[in-house]
Structure 1
């Protein structure tokens, strides 16, 4: 018998999302099943992560051709690599936080329109300045997607599948990274021109337009609507979100609770602005969401973007001394082919994360993943002491282990935690700030990596990144806040009283909530 049939009408958004009809003996009839609208939102959010991975990692494949096409120096090539990451850093907080004020759906659509416009600009760039401006603009749109896509998924999903749903969508970043590298391999293998990099970006325009169309037809977040006091709209959005056949629930009746009645513009002491992120009780969440993500991005973007370059620099290629167009393309193709194999381990890592996240918890996976990344990077650095076959083996084993462990742990968990440890009224702002802090690390790495690679060599750079991974494990454990099993409404009621494990205490769910 359902709660509705027994007369105990649920009165919160999350209780409706978590409730399922049951057979006479109490067996859930559709436990964990998503409605068509929930699946649509998840797919469209996943598409955004796919395009992000595709574009950011494609830059690494396209970079050698862009350098020769525009005659760039090492500093300028660093600017090109850092430009989309700089845009992500700006957009995550400057645009992503607007979803707390204007609504999740509005920003979810606007970001993709902005992305597509600047993507077209990149494809037809006439020189270095235009290319950089368009890459920054494209990055701003992707930065907005970090908090917005997460909140669109987490605020429309049942608690039981929220973590796996967010991680599965985030996993499409790895799919995009692999796809971007494969696109580069295919184009480089069938053409022999410096302008091949334009085709790499151009092929992304069509899917981005399709995502825009899809995002026109989704509902607003009921959590956000109720949090801003728009009860009637929240009920209609929730009813549309939960449309299924046969229809369940048949009616939706929400109550405006004290903790959500004030909304994002309140002045009654509720969380309402970015300053709240640096005060108790949310300061601990801000540190956990931001600093480990910053440290992990140092490694992920430094290694991920420059994997083809590192492989070519460490192993060498037949065309290494060939400065002709054919030589540059052949050298780029060789590095890209090696990167495909290594990037495939990103998919294995995210698959394991989805499988283990509810069993082991967010914090354990993040700590374990950070330590595994450090081991992988030390292994890769050790390859520079050798030569021949053993050197090649250590390079690939080290980078494969790094990619496996980063997506099993910090690369996926930092994204997941950033959207879970803040209350509804601050979720977009908090997750956006965390993403911006993270991308400071990505920008620094991307800009300095080409220069430092020439000055210090591969071994020193990779060992430094191993150290930042170890530090990430320490910070994660010190400021841990475990959200596994908590509903978003539980998070709204979190306080900073110490728990037996040293993190935030787990709030006691109300009768209408789901723990």
Structure 2
């Protein structure tokens, strides 16, 4: 009886729930930090007297660090373990985010943001990989969505904290600096919580550490009590863990599909999240009022994530990605063209709600379509392209906003989301409710192509 088959027959236990909460809390501070740049962009522009190119560099710096971090830590997750990778990533983020609070000028802030980005970039794909390894197939989508629902509370938290702290200077320390401090200290608490999480038994078995995998699975089984007989998973060809395996069938098509997907989706997802406050200022709203509007639209992130909970196991995840991408295109254009404050907030809220239905679906999906020995590398490597694209976006979208206006900006974003629909619709396999070994067997891949 294989380790994978024993993990797949488990019900959801207390250990699964603890892991889900610990991952969700880490992602909370990850997303808080990602959206911090957008929340504080206009504030830091005034504080440091930044020009447009300097502001773009500040917005891009963390994303460029995220690109490097996602690639590096994804490989660590496959070589040294999922647990070690997410502890390293969270520790890196905490340290440099704290140092960012004490920045004496824009250069130091850009450098600290880049270095914090090394840890931030690894957090979502490594977490996706870990939960994908750990959770039973019938519950994998729902519990991963729960982790992200908890995580996305960090986005409106950043928005409302910005609205409250930016005009203030508690203890004589600028409000924007306190926002970095709070994020760093919170993530240190999560680091301590995560040290108690087990390593992925699937990963341990894949690298030949059967005894450790057996001990961890036995603890899960003792928690579960009486168990059904396992259904053996399809035999998957032996995995060497070499990168070249991602570029041969059946994974070559999936690698290319996810690479294109991540370059495009970041325009819709992070393009809105980081630029919305700046777009509102460009529409003529004062900075403090734009922060309030941004915080209200950011409420859609956790709500959209909560909306995904009853859907991710009932609707094929591939189709959830497609439908939510279309909604993002529609609401994005409406947000760009809106001028009345109530309509701006309504369209922004609907956009962020749709975008987190989209986000939850693809985070679950991307960790299901690659083999265990390469899951961290493939998930993080393709996801890293979204971070690189996010680093480039301010240099493309800010000039477009300044020259052509918000309507044209969000029309371009909508076009990118339409291309996402084409990419995943043509080349993405189906995964919902299937064991990972079935999704990643050569027979399973052939069946997917026939079903498509």
Could you say whether these structures have the same fold, taking a TM-score greater than 0.5 normalized by the shorter chain as the test?
A: yes
In the alignment, the residues of structure 2 paired with residue 420 and residue 372 of structure 1 have an alpha-carbon distance, to the nearest angstrom, of: 24
Give the structure 1 partner of residue 4 of structure 2. 14
Give the structure 2 partner of residue 399 of structure 1. 348
In the alignment, the residues of structure 1 paired with residue 143 and residue 433 of structure 2 have an alpha-carbon distance, to the nearest angstrom, of: 14
1:213 to 187, 192, 213: 192
> How far 1:259 sits from its partner (Å)?
4.4
Give the structure 1 partner of residue 51 of structure 2. 73
Alignment of 1:83-162 (within 5 A): 83-162=61-140
> How far 1:17 sits from its partner (Å)?
2.6
In the alignment, the residues of structure 1 paired with residue 156 and residue 249 of structure 2 have an alpha-carbon distance, to the nearest angstrom, of: 41
In the alignment, the residues of structure 1 paired with residue 437 and residue 265 of structure 2 have an alpha-carbon distance, to the nearest angstrom, of: 29
Give the structure 2 partner of residue 510 of structure 1. none
In the alignment, the residues of structure 2 paired with residue 128 and residue 382 of structure 1 have an alpha-carbon distance, to the nearest angstrom, of: 33
1:64 to 39, 42, 66: 42
In the alignment, the residues of structure 2 paired with residue 501 and residue 399 of structure 1 have an alpha-carbon distance, to the nearest angstrom, of: 39
Give the structure 2 partner of residue 244 of structure 1. 223
Change in Cα spacing, 1:274 to 1:18, as seen in structure 2 (3 Å) is closer
Query: Are 2:22 and 2:193, in contact at CA under 8 Å, matched by a contact in 1?
Result: yes
Alignment of 1:321-360 (within 5 A): 331-360=286-315
Query: Are 1:88 and 1:141, in contact at CA under 8 Å, matched by a contact in 2?
Result: yes
In the alignment, the residues of structure 2 paired with residue 187 and residue 439 of structure 1 have an alpha-carbon distance, to the nearest angstrom, of: 28
1:53 to 27, 31, 38: 31
Give the structure 1 partner of residue 417 of structure 2. 469
> How far 1:116 sits from its partner (Å)?
1.0
In the alignment, the residues of structure 2 paired with residue 373 and residue 271 of structure 1 have an alpha-carbon distance, to the nearest angstrom, of: 39
Matched, 1:422 2:370: yes
Give the structure 2 partner of residue 497 of structure 1. 446
1:360 aligns to what SS in structure 2? coil
**Structure whose CA Rg is larger:** 1
1:283 aligns to what SS in structure 2? helix
In the alignment, the residues of structure 1 paired with residue 221 and residue 16 of structure 2 have an alpha-carbon distance, to the nearest angstrom, of: 8
1:452 aligns to what SS in structure 2? helix
Alignment of 1:297-376 (within 5 A): 297-314=266-283, 316-317=284-285, 331-376=286-331
Give the structure 2 partner of residue 513 of structure 1. none
> How far 1:98 sits from its partner (Å)?
1.5
Change in Cα spacing, 1:184 to 1:381, as seen in structure 2 (3 Å) is closer
Alignment of 1:217-228 (within 5 A): 217-228=196-207
Matched, 1:295 2:251: no
Change in Cα spacing, 1:256 to 1:296, as seen in structure 2 (3 Å) is closer
Change in Cα spacing, 1:498 to 1:236, as seen in structure 2 (3 Å) is closer
Alignment of 1:230-309 (within 5 A): 230-244=209-223, 247=225, 259=236, 270=239, 272-309=241-278
In the alignment, the residues of structure 1 paired with residue 356 and residue 234 of structure 2 have an alpha-carbon distance, to the nearest angstrom, of: 38
Query: Are 1:41 and 1:152, in contact at CA under 8 Å, matched by a contact in 2?
Result: no
In the alignment, the residues of structure 2 paired with residue 80 and residue 454 of structure 1 have an alpha-carbon distance, to the nearest angstrom, of: 17
Query: Are 2:336 and 2:406, in contact at CA under 8 Å, matched by a contact in 1?
Result: yes
1:33 aligns to what SS in structure 2? coil
> How far 1:332 sits from its partner (Å)?
2.6
How many residues were matched structurally? 449
- Tell me the alpha carbon deviations over residues 51-87 of structure 1, each in whole angstroms, 9 at most, x when there is no partner: 1111111211222222222222111111111111111
> How far 1:392 sits from its partner (Å)?
3.0
1:485 to 418, 421, 433: 433
Matched, 1:39 2:17: yes
In the alignment, the residues of structure 2 paired with residue 402 and residue 68 of structure 1 have an alpha-carbon distance, to the nearest angstrom, of: 28
- Tell me the alpha carbon deviations over residues 147-171 of structure 1, each in whole angstroms, 9 at most, x when there is no partner: 2111221211111111111122123
Gaps of 5+ in 2: none
In the alignment, the residues of structure 1 paired with residue 241 and residue 7 of structure 2 have an alpha-carbon distance, to the nearest angstrom, of: 25
Query: Are 2:328 and 2:351, in contact at CA under 8 Å, matched by a contact in 1?
Result: yes
Deviates more, 1:214-223 or 1:393-402: 393-402
Higher relative contact order (CA 8 A, sep 6+): 2
Change in Cα spacing, 1:72 to 1:189, as seen in structure 2 (3 Å) is closer
> How far 1:99 sits from its partner (Å)?
0.8
> How far 1:291 sits from its partner (Å)?
1.9
1:478 aligns to what SS in structure 2? helix
